[in-house]
Amino acid sequence: MAWALLEYLWLASLYTSSNTAYAQGPVEQQPADDNGDSTPGSKFPRTEEELEKYKQEALARQQELTTSEARGVEVPVMITFVESQPLTVVADLAGRYQMQTRRFDARGLSGTERITIGGIVDEEDKIDEAMLQKVIENINVDFIGIISLRGTIPVETLLSIQEDERVFLADVPLPAAFRSAQDEGLEIKPPPSVYWVVENIR
């Protein structure tokens, strides 16, 4: 099955008073094996067995960050859901776990072809539904739901969000890479979402 990526961005109102969205694609999307220093050294999972191994490694990273970092430290996190979620999941996770979402990915369908729609969340941790609907109509896909979120979360709520029944994995960077970035005042991204693997093996 072909995999396409259509991405739109909410542009901050630095240059204009209104938000702008655009779709880019379709292009082929292949999961990367690495994501710079933030991604674990093992190969990115592609099978159910590899996914389970990857998840266990991710849970170990969670534990290490939870025990080594002070309360209140914001940790980069990639939330991969068990299945697609409604738009309200963004605000809900912000309220329950103090997660600050920056980006989201949503699933769309064009016939039998899966489409990934990516976007930026506004400062109030909300998705501009009207803008999203406009993009969906423009690219002519059926909207299924939110499949992953990227942002930051206080280290003390990291384990709690992992226990949320909607969450397959709350993935974080390698602890050593996170600490190094903190020392140097650099931003570090979490690993990419594993939703496409979760989806394939369901």
Per-residue pLDDT of the chain (202 residues; tens, 9 = 90+): 333 344 443 322 222 222 223 333 332 233 433 333 344 545 678 899 999 999 999 999 999 999 999 899 999 999 999 999 999 998 899 899 999 999 999 999 998 899 999 988 877 778 888 888 888 988 899 999 999 999 999 999 999 999 999 999 999 999 999 999 999 999 999 999 999 999 998 8
Residue 26: cis peptide before it, omega within 30 degrees of 0: yes
- Indicate the SS3 state at residue 16: coil
Phi-psi region of 36 (alpha: psi -120 to 50; beta: other; left: phi over 0): left
31-34: list long-range contacts, CB under 8 Å, 24+ apart: 31/192, 31/196, 32/192
Distance, in Å, from the CA atom of 174 to the CA atom of 200, rounded to the nearest integer, reads 26
Residue 165: partners with Cβ closer than 8 Å, 6 or more residues away: 82
CA dist., res. 118 & res. 121, Å (int): 10
Distance, C-alpha 155 to centroid of its chain: 17
Query: For residue 181, what pLDDT is reported?
Result: 93
How many other C-beta atoms can be found within 10 angstroms of the C-beta atom of residue 41?
Answer: 8
**Where are the chain's structural domains?**
41-201
pLDDT of residue 30: 35
pLDDT value at residue 3: 37
Bridge pairing between strands 167-171 and 74-85: antiparallel
Residue type at 110 in one-letter notation: S
Total residues belonging to the chain: 202
Tell me the whole-structure pTM to 2 decimals: 0.81
